[in-house]
Chain A
Amino acid sequence: MATLEQFGVLLQITDQTFRLVRNVRGNATAYIARANAGADPVTLGAEMKVDADRFLERLDTLTQIALRNQTMVQNALGIIGVTLAQANTLKNGLVATMNHVKAATLTTAQQCIDEATFVLGDVPNYEGLF
């Protein structure tokens, strides 16, 4: 039977993951809106790349915390039947997406829109209550 501590850790993991994923998707949607509204594409593209860097930092922080508390995280994820390998697959996917943004040429509005659309297609769209 899961302990209260394990539930607490699970809540923290899911909260962080949900919010990061929704943050990524929210930004992508906003990039498209700004590109369509006539924002300077060079500035917007640069911002997209810097934001991608920040997301990579967040993912790295989460990874470091998980590695330092691997057993606790493993047990917590086990409550919902998720393995560390599956969680790692999600993380690697997000890292790949962010690196894709960093590597993209983003100097025109269409390029920014295309890249943001790629992000929306690549990052899971978790449904939420709020």
Chain B
Amino acid sequence: MPSTGGFNFRATSGFVTDPAGTTYVLDTDTYPVTRNGFTFGWLDTPGGGRDRTTFSDARDRMAGINFGQAAQRFKVDLPGGAGTTDVRLAMGDAGGAQTQMQVKVKDNTTVRLTIGPHDTATSNYYDASDTVRTSETDWINNNAAATGLSMSSGVLVATLEGPGGVSNTTLAHLFVSHTAAGAGDTQEWIGQFPVMRRRDEGNVMYCTSLLLRGWRLASWFARRTKARVDTLRTWIGDGGQGFEAVNVCT
């Protein structure tokens, strides 16, 4: 099972009640702080934190911000160490428009994801797919994750960049879902079903189903061949080591 946790950046812990599975991060939360199942914190003091708006619902993830422009690093120790991480984030500010913001998500020091640089209007947020969401509600309903980020160091670092050092980057929310590559994390090719000839809207296709063990292998395969993968589903789950069936057509 992946370890999941959300980090809501703001200035005051009690400003809102954090939605389930998330916790607050203050600009004064110097690494290491342990809360909500994660050890995390700022390695470099950010420019500051702000409380913005209370929503009293899931949007409280974006009730505030921490900000910086000098590549300040926010570190998260990933439970279980090295593995693969899905990330969601909200780069923006309920309190005002922002310019030239950029967040980088790193495997300790190796960049795995870059968002921006972007300008945003008030209550607009860029998500982890580098897509702008035009309100807190839009972010909650439609934000997309960056999936399968390799975290071989077991440490995720998000940095607040300010290209040119002229403006602050505001980070409202970060979510991580980490699956550690444990000793028993077997990755193997189990088998393949016979190739079938199929007609789809007049086109002849050849399809087969692959049976894989281990979510990383299946996820990797899906990413590499996404144009041809019909489905990717866990067939039998057994603590993250499930068999997965992947239907492939070409």
Contacts and interface: CB of A to CB of B under 8 A. Distances in A.
> Do A and B come together as binding partners?
yes
Interface of A: 19-20, 23-24, 27, 43, 47, 50-51, 53-55, 57-58
Interface residues of B, number: 13
B35 A57 contact: no
Interface stretch (B36-44, B189-197, B229-237): B36-44
B96 interface: no
Contacts of A55: 34
Interface of B: 3, 20, 30, 32-39, 77, 79
Nearest to B31: A19
If over half of A's interface residues share one DSSP class (helix, strand or loop), that class is named, otherwise mixed; here it is: helix
B77 A57 contact: yes
A60 to B, nearest CB: 12
Contact of A58 (B3, B34, B37, B79): B34
B138 to A, nearest CB: 28
A103 B32 CA distance: 24
Given A27-B34, A54-B79, 14 more contacts: A19-B30, A23-B33, A23-B34, A27-B35, A47-B37, A50-B37, A50-B79, A51-B34, A51-B35, A53-B37, A53-B79, A54-B77, A57-B77, A58-B32
9 contacts: A19-B33, A23-B34, A47-B37, A53-B37, A54-B34, A54-B37, A54-B79, A57-B39, A58-B34
